Structure 1
């Protein structure tokens, strides 16, 4: 019987013993060797890829080969290496059955080489997902209905309102509402959250708990839709959306005032207050890969030499919502310009003038689509070379990571093209990026900061603790304005 094996590791599992690509490959290959008349004919791998869906290069290549009849059984180390959702499992098993391909897990009883194994894998997966979905549906429906009826789901009622137990409805706390209105007035007049907090504290006004105001506390109030009457406490109906219910709270300010305050704060929030005056180049731009928050800068001084070092810390670390390690500005500096140059090369290589409004969108899309096809073809080549042991596991992972980076860039370009049909593409010009690269070393920190923010929206970083300290930081993505 011709056997193929599929192996996968997610980013978080790269370092876990027994889950590496090499370990899975070895154990699956030994299992195939132990089976009479089984021969290993092909290996499919997805390094550093989540199993949230089937849109994975290795899986897609495997499915193409299933239809071509390249093998008779697919072997995995564990079921969750291949799939995590019952719907995906059902679709895969259906494709396997149509093409007379069997399935086998090395470490579990899941397999479709026997009728009982096929029945068992389907029932176990279906029951697990049914229970999760059923529980989630019951909770979501109940909580959603409570909110829609304007009832209190429990917990703390936000500043400005309280729950009237006798009337069974929310009512305004007039003293608190007075200060909320002042906050919106100050915000629309141009004051940032820190300035508003200082004004409240100078007036001797405290929070409901008797604490002094902070910029965080002010910001939470200003963005809370309950202040114009909508429910802030809508429950999530799925992973991507939450619903907002109107007329649940009595309004403290009008929707127009709320919207205007929100519009103005969005235009200034990223670089407001002390953040705009300090000399931390990457503050507000550097993005945490763990929680998505931005980084802020701080300085430490060597007590022996008096040398001052500039570092960046995730904004959620102080509140213990994130434990991502701090990074030095030098580490970011060492990687930023080379990565920016690579991004510029990527833009140049696809031969797309993103600022030329005269180019037809469809022509640009064709160029990008061809580049994506080239990536797919190169992946096949690396897959074949690795399966035949002509390149190492590390080399294979590095090549796949590079292809993934390029693919992400081209998909981003394709998305912008789709979004801007009939218009010029609204991204930073290549000339401006070249200017930043050429002048970077001649600029002072404040000049670098201003030029960087005029071009770059976000820099996503990551830390690889397996490498030596000077090489640990990686720039995963640079997002232009």
Structure 2
């Protein structure tokens, strides 16, 4: 009697199933060994275990165990593939049936402890093979949707679903219990930590503090995270970027319960993101926000050479002088230096350096002049009308995409029905061709859904922009009232917000270009003819 060489495959979808649940690997292993021992001519030569691998989400092409089993089959290393249930091989309806059939075509018997042998002797066998995995796929899809829906609903209700609690919140009793009778916790705003977040926001926006400087300030003043650890720049950045503090989930979803957990306003969040985006190295050419606000110079990030266009950097320079009596003395000065000319990167006919105090005083005069020209917000209605037209165009594209996605989903359904005909030999498609077409259609659906999500996000942002017009004017008005008494750090940030670009030329000829957000609030720039102004001393 010739012994049949058996390889066992065990799989669990989550690592929690490895030791605890009824479908765990030890249980599968025991069942397979008991089943193999009942066959006198079977001998188990090898075992494969896949821990935390979803048979529904992970393709066979990306599973090492399946690929190694195929290679072993080609090398004639075994005769039987044994699993506890056939869905351990996979749960993908348009892939797994063909994987099982591949082993059968290469002389490998495929057995299940619970379902017996999968044969391919007739069209009925092929159809049953497909239907089994089609049903398994449907069950996985429904389970996945049910779990996601439940978790999403709990999050939207402000309930705690596990994991670290975000800084600014603490857990409290919700009065609810889960199916096991365990109390469900909910999130509440922590009064002390929320004030720390407000302080971080203010120092970022009004004083230009970066994440490193903020984390150092927090640590030096005794603030700590939930775990008692010191703040790091990574933690600070995560807090600044997290939209949850505005009452929104990552996908833009918001509910009454989430809004009750709001710590940060939308206007503040938008300003913080603008600053962080501007400071990103990838935006070096577009940056007009200061990378840092320490130092004695008022300008940083948005100041350029009027001759070569290179960025001006701040340097400390010591000038030496000789008095009438022949004695020498030196003076430390802050200067703006043309990066290109100082390093001979191009032929720049401007000055190499400019005294910072002279440039800063000219800019202060220009800012005072701008603030004195305030004329209210006469263009507010026009700007709102423009944004509404853009939203209408966005909605039209969304409608078109939704129609195209509907057609693609119908096509996908028809192709999935064609799989059964392919297995019984009644289809004009080969299994390989049909699989490729299915993948293409699924990719088209995924791309369409991605574009639709992007359009919806843009629509949300434009709707928010309509609401931000009045707050922007209020901010502009506040700067006008407080500029003369503001600290140097605050003046530096005001200059960064107001001016998109400042150019300095020979003889201290200075031109400025306002940011569009605030251009609308100044009479001289309202007609669009005066984008730049020039001053000299």
Larger radius of gyration: 2
TM bracket, shorter-chain basis: 0.3 to 0.5
